[in-house]
Amino acid sequence: MNDLNENNNNKFTIIPFFASPLMQVQLDLDLEKLTEFSFQLQNKGRKREEEEKDTVVIGGWQSNNIVEEPHEEFKKLKKEINQYLQIYHSEVFQGMTFKENVTQSINSMWVMINEKQHYVDWHIHPISTLSGVYYINHDGSKENGDIMFKNPNGTYMNIAHWPPGLVETTNEVSVEKVNITPSPNMLLIFPSWLEHKVEMNLKDDTRISLSFNSQPIPEKKS
């Protein structure tokens, strides 16, 4: 038995300061309908104007804000996303006090269609609290493009444990970057301030995803 644990009667608490929690959910929506919807948007030319485009998007097609689109399957997806945004908010922001009762409200949604050699560089989503991505078409391989998240303290992680080579494996506290390989119908929700990128699509298979932003708004009073 460990003598330190046996003889130490002091109570202690580990506090996860500055956490950036990620929610991962596997949905069950009609991907064929959502794929058709995505290409319909592209064929209609409903894309962001040049001055509104994200400069970190290298290649690919990006729609304008489609948050009010009436498409049936898209509305189902929007409802699911909204449900999990509320769960994330209630779980992650426990202990926070707002001046009024608030609910997470989606303020923008857009479709991205990425062919071979298209990628998205490092970025955050300003003027929002929560962001996320839902995968409509992805073959589940790293070559089709992972999403990567950067530890806000990541620049220090490579010198935090000295000498080099001392650490064989890291955990969610000490890792510098985290890769997630998407799969169809996967939904990810994360803080908008968490820096992330989408790696290059190295395959001929088209990658289709839907991204969104959300912010807390006061609940309507009855």
Q: What is the pLDDT of residues 154-207, one digit of tens each?
A: 778 778 888 888 888 989 888 999 999 999 999 999 999 999 999 999 999 999
Question: In the chain, which stretches have pLDDT less than 70?
Answer: 1-8, 46-55, 222
Continuous segment of H or E residues that includes residue 69: none
Helix then strand count (H, E) for the chain reads 4, 11
In sequence order, what are the residues at sequence separation of 6 or more whose Cβ sits closer than 8 angstroms to the Cβ of residue 153? Answer: 18
What is 19-218's CATH superfamily? q2cbj1_9rhob like domain (2.60.120.620)
- Global confidence as pTM: 0.90
Compute the distance between CA of residue 140 and CA of residue 184 in angstroms, rounded to an integer.
Answer: 7
> What integer pLDDT is reported at residue 52 of this predicted model?
46
What is the C-alpha R_g of the chain? 20
> What is the percentage of the chain residues whose pLDDT exceeds 70?
91
Compute the distance between CA of residue 120 and CA of residue 202 in angstroms, rounded to an integer.
Answer: 13
> What integer pLDDT is reported at residue 5 of this predicted model?
55
> What integer pLDDT is reported at residue 220 of this predicted model?
79
The domain locations on the chain are: 19-218
* 163 prior amide bond cis, ω within 30: yes
Ramachandran bin of 215, using left for φ above 0, alpha for ψ from -120 to 50, beta for the remaining angles: beta
> What integer pLDDT is reported at residue 51 of this predicted model?
42
CA angle 184, 42, 23 (to 5 degrees): 30
